Amino acid sequence: MKVAVCVKQIPDPADPGELDIETKTLKRDVKLILDESDSYGVEMALQLVGEDGEVVLVSMVPNNERNGLNNALAMGADSAVLVSDDALAGTDALGTAKVLAAAIRRIEPDLVLAATESSDGYTGTVPEQIAELLELPSVTFAKEVSIADGSVSVKRQTEEGYDEVSCPLPALVSVTAGVVEPRYPSFKGIMAAKSKPVEELTISDLGIDSSQVGWSGGGQEIVSIEPAPEREAGEVIEDEGDGHERIIAFLEELKVI
Amino acid sequence: MGTIWVHAETQDGQVSSITLELLAKARELGDVVAVHAGNDAEAAAAELGAHGASRVLSAGDLDGGLVGPALASAMAGVVDSEAPSAILFGTTYGGRDVAGRLSVKLDAPVITNVVDLIDDGGLVGVEPVFGGTTNVRTRFTSDKPGIFLVRPKSFTAESIDGGPAEVSEIPIPDLGNSGAAKITSQFVEESDGPKLDEAAIVVSGGRGLGEAEKFHLVEDLAAKLGGAAGASRAIVDAGWVPYSYQVGQTGKVVKPDVYIAAGISGATQHMVGMKGSKTIIAINKDPEAPIFSIADLGIIGDVHKVLPALLEALEG
Ligand SMILES: Cc1cc2nc3c(=O)[nH]c(=O)nc-3n(C[C@H](O)[C@H](O)[C@H](O)COP(=O)(O)OP(=O)(O)OC[C@H]3O[C@@H](n4cnc5c(N)ncnc54)[C@H](O)[C@@H]3O)c2cc1C
Ligand SMILES: Cc1cc2nc3c(=O)[nH]c(=O)nc-3n(C[C@H](O)[C@H](O)[C@H](O)COP(=O)(O)OP(=O)(O)OC[C@H]3O[C@@H](n4cnc5c(N)ncnc54)[C@H](O)[C@@H]3O)c2cc1C
Res A25: pLDDT = 66
Res A148: pLDDT = 94
**pLDDT at residue A17 tops 80:** no
Q: What are phi and psi of A151, to 5 degrees?
A: -140, 155
By the CB < 8 Å criterion, does B225 face chain A?
yes
Q: Is B112 exposed, middle or buried (0-12, 13-18, 19+ CB in 10 A)?
A: buried
Chain B positions touching A100 (Cβ under 8 A) are none
Q: How far apart are CA A228 and CA B44, in angstroms?
A: 37
Res B190: pLDDT = 74
Question: Does an H or E element contain B118, and which?
Answer: strand B116-120
Tell me, using a 6 A CB cutoff, whether residue B123 lines ligand 2.
no
Question: Which among B16, B135, B183 is the nearest to A164, CB-wise?
Answer: B183
What angle, 0 to 180 degrees and rounded to 10, lies between the N-to-C axes of helices A126-133 and B67-82?
A: 80
Atom in ligand 1 nearest the alpha carbon of residue A123: 26
Measure B263 CA to nearest chain A CA, in Å: 14
Chain A positions touching B199 (Cβ under 8 A) are none
Give mean pLDDT, residues A184-210.
96
User: CB A254 to CB B182 under 8 A?
Assistant: no
Confidence of residue A16 (pLDDT cuts 50, 70, 90): low
Q: What pTM was estimated for this model as a whole?
A: 0.92
Which chain B residues in 23-62 lie under 8 Å from chain A, judged by CB atoms? none
CATH 3.40.50.620 in chain B is located at: 3-179
Q: Which of B90, B93, B129, B125 is nearest to B109 (CA)?
A: B125
From the CA of B210, the nearest ligand is: 2
Q: What are phi and psi of A110, to 5 degrees?
A: -80, -30
**pLDDT at residue A172 tops 60:** yes
Q: How far apart are CA B147 and CA B113, in angstroms?
A: 12
By the CB < 8 Å criterion, does A122 face chain B?
yes
Atom in ligand 1 nearest the alpha carbon of residue A91: 19
Confidence of residue A167 (pLDDT cuts 50, 70, 90): very high
Res A3: pLDDT = 98
Atom in ligand 1 nearest the alpha carbon of residue A116: 32
Give mean pLDDT, residues A23-38.
78
Task: Name the CATH topology of B3-179.
Answer: Rossmann fold (3.40.50)
Give mean pLDDT, residues A167-189.
94
Mutate to test the interface with A, among B112, B139, B189, B269 (most CBs of A within 10 A): B112
Measure B35 CA to nearest chain A CA, in Å: 19
Res B127: pLDDT = 93
Residue ranges with strand state E in A29-122: 32-34, 54-61, 79-84, 111-115
Tell me, using a 6 A CB cutoff, whether residue A60 lines ligand 1.
yes
From the CA of A10, the nearest ligand is: 1
**pLDDT at residue A74 tops 70:** yes
Measure B100 CA to nearest chain A CA, in Å: 5
Task: Name the CATH topology of B201-315.
Answer: Rossmann fold (3.40.50)
What does the pLDDT look like over B38-91, one tens digit per residue?
A: 999 999 999 999 999 999 999 999 999 999 999 999 999 999 999 999 999 999
Q: What is the pLDDT along chain B (316 residues), one digit of tens a residue?
A: 899 999 999 999 999 999 999 999 999 999 999 999 999 999 999 999 999 999 999 999 999 999 999 999 999 999 999 999 999 999 999 999 999 999 999 999 999 999 999 998 889 999 988 777 889 999 999 889 999 999 999 999 999 999 999 999 999 999 999 999 999 999 987 777 899 988 999 999 999 999 999 999 999 999 999 999 999 999 998 999 988 899 998 889 999 999 999 999 999 999 989 999 999 999 999 999 999 999 999 999 999 999 999 999 998 7
Q: Which amino acid is at A163?
A: D
Tell me, using a 6 A CB cutoff, whether residue B129 lines ligand 1.
yes
What does the pLDDT look like over A37-68, one tens digit per residue?
A: 999 999 999 999 998 899 999 999 998 899 99
Residue ranges with strand state E in A62-202: 79-84, 111-115, 138-148, 151-157, 161-168, 171-175, 198-201
Res B192: pLDDT = 76
Closest A-chain CA to B305: A241
Task: Name the CATH topology of A2-217.
Answer: Rossmann fold (3.40.50)
Give mean pLDDT, residues A80-102.
96
What angle, 0 to 180 degrees and rounded to 10, lies between the N-to-C axes of helices A243-253 and B303-315?
A: 50
Is B168 strand, coil or helix?
Answer: strand
Other Cβ atoms within 10 Å of B288 Cβ, number: 9
**pLDDT at residue A29 tops 70:** no
Q: How far apart are CA A85 and CA A107, in angstroms?
A: 19
Other Cβ atoms within 10 Å of A57 Cβ, number: 28
Query: Which residue minimizes the CA distance to atom 37 of ligand 2?
Result: B208
In whole numbers, what is the pLDDT of chain A averaged over residues?
93
Chain A positions touching B296 (Cβ under 8 A) are 234-235, 250
Tell me, using a 6 A CB cutoff, whether residue B232 lines ligand 2.
yes
Q: Which of A220-229, A235-244, B285-294 has the lowest mean pLDDT?
A: A220-229
User: CB A19 to CB B136 under 8 A?
Assistant: yes
By the CB < 8 Å criterion, does A148 face chain B?
no
Chain A positions touching B92 (Cβ under 8 A) are 159
ipTM for the predicted complex comes to: 0.92
Q: How far apart are CA B21 and CA B19, in angstroms?
A: 5
Chain B positions touching A177 (Cβ under 8 A) are 233, 237, 250
Question: Does an H or E element contain A48, and which?
Answer: helix A36-49
